[in-house]
Amino acid sequence: MAHILIVEARFYDHLNDMLLAGARAAIEAAGHSHETVTVPGALEVPGAIALAADTDRYDAFVALGVVIRGETYHFEIVSNESARGIMALTLDGLAIGNGILTTENEAQAIARADPAQLDKGAGAAQAALAMLALRERLA
């Protein structure tokens, strides 16, 4: 049984609740345990994963959050840099499922976060578990 850390950028509570529900259900359905930590925003997610990875308590990680385009360039910075940070950690060998949604509006975010619709929280958890299985197979 693997122990998974869910790192959530809790900026939009109602959207994160849906992402978390999907991720937790997928991890539990696969027979694994999980913990959740919360960070202020998507930019902090890679740092939290890096800190947690140093503890050797977790086998894989699920990154969750929502970034909705606003009127400024901030959307691009947050979207690109959070993804870049997560990618750098995966290239270092961590099993991470990236469930940070980057959408144009709240309706798109709801459709992707809702477990009854696209269920991207579950998809991120399943990706983390798939990468964990691949890492173990290749070890």
pLDDT (tens digit, 9 = 90+) per residue, 83-131?
999 999 999 999 999 999 999 999 999 999 999 999 999 999 999 999 9
Q: Identify the H or E element spanning 103.
A: strand 96-103
Q: Which amino acid is at 51?
A: L
Alpha helices in the chain (DSSP H): 13-29, 45-53, 74-91, 106-113, 120-138
Which residues participate in the annotated binding site for 5-amino-6-(D-ribitylamino)uracil?
Answer: 11, 42-44, 66-68, 98
Give the active site residues.
Answer: 74
Q: Which amino acid is at 84?
A: R
Question: Residue 91: its pLDDT value, please?
Answer: 97
Question: What is the C-alpha separation between 43 and 46, in angstroms, rounded?
Answer: 7
Domain of 88: which CATH number? 3.40.50.960
Contact, 16 vs 41, CB < 8 A? no
Six token digits for residue 118: 């696209």
- Pick left, alpha or beta for residue 71 (phi over 0 → left; psi -120 to 50 → alpha; otherwise beta): alpha
Number of structural domains found in the chain: 1
Question: Which of 86, 64, 79 shows the shortest CA–CA distance to 20?
Answer: 64
pLDDT in tens, 35-87: 999 999 999 999 999 999 999 999 999 999 999 999 888 999 999 999 999 99
| Residue whose entry in the numeric block shows the structure tokens 């270092």 | 92
Question: Residue 73: its pLDDT value, please?
Answer: 87
> What's this model's pTM, rounded to 2 decimal places?
0.97
Which residue range(s) make up the domain with 76? 3-138
Question: What is the C-alpha separation between 93 and 130, in angstroms, rounded?
Answer: 13
The band of 25, judged by pLDDT with boundaries at 50, 70 and 90, is very high
Mean pLDDT of 1-9: 98
